[in-house]
Structure formats: C-alpha cells, structure tokens
Amino acid sequence: MSESINRVLTNPVESGKLPGVVGLVADDAGILYQGAFGRRAVDQPAPMTLDSVFRIASMTKAITATAAMQLIEAGRIGLEQPIGELLPFTRDVQVLEGFDAAGKPRLRAPAQPVTVRHLLTHTSGYGYDIFNADLGRYVAAAGLPSILTCRHDALKVPLLFDPGTRWEYGIGIDLAGRIVETVTGQDLDTYFHQHIFAPLGMTSSSFRPTEAMQARMVGTHARGPDGTVAPLSFEFPQDAEFLMGGGGLYSTAADYLAFCRMLLGGGTLDGQRVLKPETVRLMGQNHIGAIDVPKLRSDNPQMALEVEFFPGIVKKWGLSFLINMGDLPGGRAAGSLAWAGVHNTFFWVDPASRLTAVLMMQLLPANDPAVLETLMGFEGAVYGAFAR
C-alpha cells in the first residue's frame, strides 16, 4: 500500500523539483507509513532521514496553543480574558487605520479589548509585518524591529482592525506564547519540554537545537526565478529576547507526528495525557463564527506565495488550527485540523477518518507550486491506501 505514496514523494525529488522530503502517516494503532527521500541539502551529500531536523516555523503555533489550553484547563488564564491583564504592554494598543497625506499613521482605540481567544484564532487584529504592507510600513516608520528579530519591541505593533471582526494571519500566537511565559515564569522551551515534549517522547524538538539535532539539520533552500533550488541561510538570532511561539521550533516529522497522534487520541498518547478530551474537542471547533478564513495574501513573494487552501470549501479556525468544513474529494474529511510552516512543512489530523499525517520539506517560498502538488498527491495517496 505504501508504493503509491513512495512514488508521489520520490518523483519531485528525482526530477530535481525538491531537494528532499519526509512523510509519515498514523492511525489510532500507530504508524502506517514512513518515508524519507532525497538529501537534506542540495549542496551536501547527507541523505534525508526520518530523524532529520526541520525548521517547522508556524507548525509551532499548534504547540503554543496547546500550552495555552493547558493553562486554561488549570484555571490560570481564561479564553475571554483581555490580554492587557496578562501582558501590560498591550493595554494601550491602537488600531492602524492608514496613513495621512504626509505619511503619518492614523491610529484610534479599538472597539473592544483583545482576548486570549482572539490571539488563538487570528481575529485579534495583530498581523505580520513580513506579509502585510501597511504594517510593514508602520514598523519601518516607527523604527520597530521585525517579528523575525525576536525583540520585545516587535510585539508592540498596532492592530489592523477591531478584534473579532476579521481573520488575518499574524503574531497573535507569539503573544500567546509570551502569556505562557509570563504566567508560568518559564520560557517556552522549558515549559514545552516539561509539559508536552517529555510526555510525548518528542526528544528532537526544541527552540534551541542540541548538537545532536544540529548534526541532522536540513538545509534551507529557495526557489529561483528559473525554477532551480539553491541553498539559503535562514536562522533565528542567537540573542533572541523572546522565543517565537508562532514559529521558532525545530523538530522532526516523527516528533510532530507524536503530537498529532496525541490530538487524534483525544489528548493522550501511549498513556500520557497532555490535554483533557473535552479540551481537544473544544480546540477542534469553529471559534470564528460567521467569519471565514480567506485566501492567504502575501506582500512578500520571496517568503510566501498567495494561496487559497481547498478552493470552494468553507474554512474556519479553531484553537489554533485551520478547519475544512467540507470533505476534500479523495482526501481528508470535514472537521479535520491542519496547518503548515513557511518552509513548507505540513500536518493534518482527521478525527472522522482516524488518520493523521505529517509532510516536511525545507524550501521557500511557502506554497511553492511543486510543494503544493506534492502535498495534494501525498494526501490522495494516503487516503487511497488507508481510508476505511
């Protein structure tokens, strides 16, 4: 049954479209498929392996949301709690309405406070300066650092709209990570290791890669205008003032599959409980009401291409996952939970079909056509092989 999946993953590697790829699939009983193909980097001979270490970028978000939900379970924070009570520097946040003729930002007070739920659902009004041109213009004019610098001042940006009125991808989960650190008195790396990674046996996941992890690190790459793939240097600063709960983790496909299996299992894996079953169910529900997740726009095509996942299917957001509200023909069922990382790493958890999968590559821009073709082929092959 694995041959069709192997073909989907080997074809783009053998044709030179992708340097390397790792894919894993599991159900309630355990791993159904695992495969690693190609090389870790185009300029190195080391083969891609199942334990290769990737920059998982925004796949960090689901783990940060899990940490926040653990604190909600414990009664230490609340979903409807205004974040100004937890992060004082956000109390006077303003909404950016645009710029006047002289280029001065036009700011006003928000109509309502930002809550923890808003952060976890990307409805807070916080955007990304690296993807939103207006916010990027404000950050440059105000002399603020970009979010990728991991400086505290990068979080002191205005909102792009009133909380709860729109969906826009942004730094909300980074702020949720700062809430976890503030409430627990631990940095995210320490908290994650104690409360998520250790229980799930995720020994190769960290914000700070060990020497052993660095020895298995996959190189980053960029697709050039001529379609070729070349090495690209992309690392977070070593003097980071905060750990990016929205995108700073390094991990392996095998480790991340353990996290996904925990979600598929209602918060438990191999007898280790990370979340209560009712919490996992809550995380998998629509938390943005009548708002739909729109096409993902980007003003930075070198980093990410615009994309609409699952065209024609209504998409919602949970805590904190993309949720497809309809079945994908030949693929995941309605109500599946998913997201991705900017370096083209992907996961989904399909409670209805009792399947979960992880697919990892390491290439910019996000949503590269060859990557999306591989992802769609992988999903189709997975369900062709294992759907009940």
Indicate if 383 belongs to the active site.
no
What digits encode the pLDDT tens for the residues 265-308?
999 999 999 999 999 999 999 999 999 999 998 888 999 999 99
The reply to whether 168 falls in a domain is: no
pLDDT-derived band at 169 (thresholds 50, 70, 90) equals: very high
Asked if residue 16 belongs to a domain, the reply is yes
Distance, CA of 150 to CA of 145 (rounded, Å): 8
Catalytic residue status for 124? no
Residue 292 lies in a domain: no
Q: List the beta bridge partners of residue 349.
A: 337, 356
- Residue 312 CA to residue 253 CA, distance in Å, equals 29
Q: What is the domain-level CATH number for residue 234? A: 3.40.710.10
For the entire predicted model, the pTM comes to: 0.97
The range of the structural domain enclosing residue 378 comes to: 3-57+188-282+335-386
205 is catalytic: no
In the set 61, 128, 205, 250, the catalytic residue is 61
> Number of H helices and number of E strands within the chain?
11, 15
Report if residue 170 sits inside a domain: no
Is 148 within a domain? Answer: no
- As a whole number of angstroms, the distance between CA 114 and CA 110 comes to 9
Quick count: other Cβ atoms within 10 Å of Cβ 371?
26
- Asked if 296 and 288 count as a contact pair (C-beta separation under 8 A), the reply is no
Is residue 346 situated within a structural domain?
yes
Among 33, 126, 128, 169, which one carries the catalytic annotation? 169
- Note the pLDDT of residue 1: 67
17, 52, 58, 320: which is the annotated catalytic residue? Answer: 58
- pLDDT-derived band at 240 (thresholds 50, 70, 90) equals confident
CA-nearest of 124, 61, 129 to 300 is 129
d(CA 52, CA 57): 15
- How many domains does the chain divide into? 1
Instruction: Determine what percent of the chain is predicted with pLDDT higher than 90.
Output: 94
Residue 364 domain-assigned?
Answer: yes
Q: Is residue 44 part of a domain?
A: yes
The conformation of residue 118, written as its DSSP 8-state character, comes to H
